Structure 1
């Protein structure tokens, strides 16, 4: 697939790395020659120095023959103009990154009028991820499938946990229709069988329908109370969207922001919440604002190191849930040694959304990619396919399917029925099938076959 990307910033660089490893033909348009050269040297891509919204530059990049044009420059307007131009030139599909809240509230209207196939907002998607974690304080991450009917949650096993030293055979007998999909044990990722055992320190990925999962996670760490109050550091776009999502839960929300103009804008947008002008990384201010009285702490400043330090301090104050924004993925490796909990990386959230769209274009005759999430530090993928009539996996008992190693067929959604399949079950046409895989190039359900 020929893909042209305009913008080599945080999101653009991730897309270059991810998409080039999936054997696509990638051409990057970037104004800064130094950034462009660096990304070309790191990835198997080609590039052009210039403005992604320029007719001549798009012509030079071959946009007229490309399958997908992605505009992820820092400027919303430039991204939309670039996509409109690319569509007129002949690009089959276009994606624009749009971050401004004024545009975000009219996504569907703007998308239909401008002919942009997909509009993405890193801050809003990150806020949605944070709100899900706040709603389910006993888990480290939450992903949804099948129109929110099925959830995949990540929990940590502690020495005192009811899950410690539990075999998966006993797990299934004890918890019923809940499936352990993957186990992250240090650097190792295990796609488990019934003989595997959960150990202290494991991060376990568990899947089930929403009601069953909610009952399950309440038993895993029952000492954690529901979250009724949130202290947020940083008043940027993610905070703006997050407050809007949390308002309906009637939580006590306080924001600490050191930029007076941003603080005033946030206070005007949400007069019902408390906005404090100050440095949220200052421990004295955190104490003055009663950090130990809040159930959750979310650090969303623009500086990774400040977010890490503030989150470590919050954890020392025994705040129930600590959520941290980190942009530089190199720093994520440090988190394992620090014992941090939930981490949000906006560029990764958006890259996963775009990857899902790209995979959905792969082989629409066999199946559609309806959902895609990277789990376990990107070591595996959870993918939801819709099965078409031409698929080779149909009408064969799963125990007789010759699948590749490192694959788990986790769930089948058939009409309104949710199935954790056994060896005797079969995949049918129009089923929605959730697969866990260590491979990262599946764009249709038949890719699971040897």
Structure 2
């Protein structure tokens, strides 16, 4: 597809890379010459230097013949104006990054009146991810699927856990409806087979019914308990969206914000929560404010290093759940040995949201991918396919199919029933199937079969 991206900020760069890797024809519009040249040198894309809301610039970028135009600058109004212009010029689909809460609250009305197909809010999407991890606190990461399909959750195998030393064959005997989709071992990704041996400190990415997932965590030495109190450091936009999502719940919230004006504004916006003007990276402040007495600490400042330090301090104080906002994805692998629990990366979350939208649109034009999700620090894809009549994947039971290396079938969704397959199961036409791939981009289910 021909896609024009306006803005090469954090999200724009990630999207340029991801969409170019899927062989889409990408044109970047960026007004900063240095940023523009850097991105063009990094990825196989073309570009136009200039103002993306300008008629001449959009015409030079070929917006009039584009399948999709996505505006991702840090200016909400500019993004909306550019998207409206792009649609008038002939772009089939348009999307705009809009972070302001006033606009987000009116997104459905504005989508209709401005004819913008997709409103993208990184902080709101990240806040929803925070909410998932708070509602299922046992998981280090949690990837949900549409229509209440089983999620994929992350579990770090504890030292002394009953899971250590088990092969996947034994694992499946103990947990009939759980599938280990992939394993991260010492930073290496493995799509495991039955003879794989689970060891302490392995990160397992598992799918299955919630009741069995809870049992799995219990066997790993983790007890299920609801999060009833949040201690948030950093009163920025992400924190505000998190507070708003929990506003009508019984969850107690305290916020530490160093900036006087921000703390005052936050206190006015949310009079029912406690806002303290203090430095959340100071262990003495965290102790004085009783961080250890809260069920979860959310480190949501704008500085990655501060957030990492805050989570480390919270962990040392005995807080059972920490969420750490990290903007730079390259930092995640570096801090892996530290043992951070749940990491929130807004630019990656919103990039995945856009990719899902692009894939859905691409599907309507011939691709068979219905949805795309990423797990294991975005190194592994979980793809949803609909099984077509005559597919090679339906010819034999799964144990007889020659499936490509680093590909696994997580589960089958058939007539409102979820099947966690064994080798005796087989795919049927009209099934929906979740495929795990560490083997590059798949556009058709038949590509998993050799």
Aligned to 1:45: 45
1:389 Cα deviation (Å)?
A: 4.6
Q: 1:70 to 1:365 in 2, by over 3 A?
A: closer
Aligned to 1:280: 280
Q: 1:348 to 1:266 in 2, by over 3 A?
A: same
Aligned to 1:162: 162
2:152–2:205: 8 Å Cα contact kept in structure 1? yes
Aligned to 1:340: 340
2:412–2:421: 8 Å Cα contact kept in structure 1? yes
1:175 Cα deviation (Å)?
A: 1.8
Q: The residue matched to 1:109 in structure 2 has which SS?
A: helix
Aligned to 2:140: 140
What does 1:235-250 align with in structure 2 at a 5 Å threshold?
235-250=235-250
1:366–1:445: 8 Å Cα contact kept in structure 2? no
Aligned to 2:403: 403
Aligned to 1:205: 205
Aligned to 2:83: 83
1:149–1:210: 8 Å Cα contact kept in structure 2? no
Task: Tell me the TM-score normalised to structure 2 length.
Answer: 0.95
Q: The residue matched to 2:151 in structure 1 has which SS?
A: strand
Q: The residue matched to 2:276 in structure 1 has which SS?
A: strand
Aligned to 2:372: 372
Q: The residue matched to 2:16 in structure 1 has which SS?
A: helix
Runs of 4+ in 1 over 4 A off after TM superposition: 365-368, 388-392
Q: 1:414 to 1:146 in 2, by over 3 A?
A: farther
1:63 Cα deviation (Å)?
A: 0.7
Task: Tell me the TM-score normalised to structure 1 length.
Answer: 0.95
In 2, Cα distance between equivalents of 1:225 and 1:400: 42
> Structure 2: any 5+ residue segments left out of the alignment?
none
Aligned to 1:178: 178
CA RMSD of the aligned region, Å?
A: 1.9
1:179 Cα deviation (Å)?
A: 1.0
In 1, Cα distance between equivalents of 2:54 and 2:394: 47
In 2, Cα distance between equivalents of 1:131 and 1:342: 12
In 2, Cα distance between equivalents of 1:86 and 1:390: 40
Q: The residue matched to 1:206 in structure 2 has which SS?
A: strand
Aligned to 1:193: 193
1:28–1:48: 8 Å Cα contact kept in structure 2? yes
Aligned to 2:126: 126
In 2, Cα distance between equivalents of 1:443 and 1:254: 46
1:149–1:209: 8 Å Cα contact kept in structure 2? no
What does 1:212-231 align with in structure 2 at a 5 Å threshold?
212-223=212-223, 225-231=225-231
In 2, Cα distance between equivalents of 1:388 and 1:86: 35
Per-residue deviation, residues 249-303 of structure 1 (Å, max 9, x unmatched): 4122101112233223322332211111122222222111011111211110111
Aligned to 1:234: 234
1:4–1:69: 8 Å Cα contact kept in structure 2? yes
1:368 Cα deviation (Å)?
A: 4.9
2:381–2:438: 8 Å Cα contact kept in structure 1? yes
> Structure 1: any 5+ residue segments left out of the alignment?
none
1:226 Cα deviation (Å)?
A: 3.1
Per-residue deviation, residues 321-372 of structure 1 (Å, max 9, x unmatched): 1111111122212211222221111000011111122222334376653432
2:217–2:223: 8 Å Cα contact kept in structure 1? no
Q: 1:89 to 1:390 in 2, by over 3 A?
A: farther
